[in-house]
Amino acid sequence: MFDRSQLTARHSQIHTMKKAGVRCHVDPVLGIAHNKIMIIDNDIVLAGSYNWTNAAETRNAENLLIIKDQSTVKIYKKNWKKRYQRAKEMNLQNNMTKKLIMHKNQLNQS
């Protein structure tokens, strides 16, 4: 899942992932999703500043928490589900994601 800034961000991987067949969803909420979270098998959460990039691995001072406590994992899953429910799937065929996000934001401002 991506925030809407990733549709046009210079180093975004959303288009590469979509072309590779990965289902990509865009959360239309204002602002950026600066958190880096991975939920593995509904059982483990990786969370922190780590960007899963070469720079994060070799040059930056990053942190990455490995969370196995099920009550904490449940909180992360609940937040992810909330974001996923409002997200729109990106469609390369007609790029409907931008239209849907703009339309939803216009409705929220009324």
- Quick: pLDDT tens for 19-48: 888 899 998 887 788 888 999 999 999 999
Instruction: Report pTM.
Output: 0.71
Distance CA 85, CA 17 (A): 20
The tens digit of pLDDT for each residue in 1-21 reads 888 888 888 888 888 888 888
Q: What are the sequence ranges of the domains in the chain?
A: 2-100
Check if CATH label 3.30.870.10 holds for domain 2-100: yes
Catalytic residues: 34, 36, 41
**Once rounded to an integer, what is the mean pLDDT over residues 81-100?**
72
Question: What angle (nearest 5°) sits at the alpha carbon of residue 75, between those of residues 83 and 63?
Answer: 90
Sign of CA dihedral 17, 22, 27, 28: positive
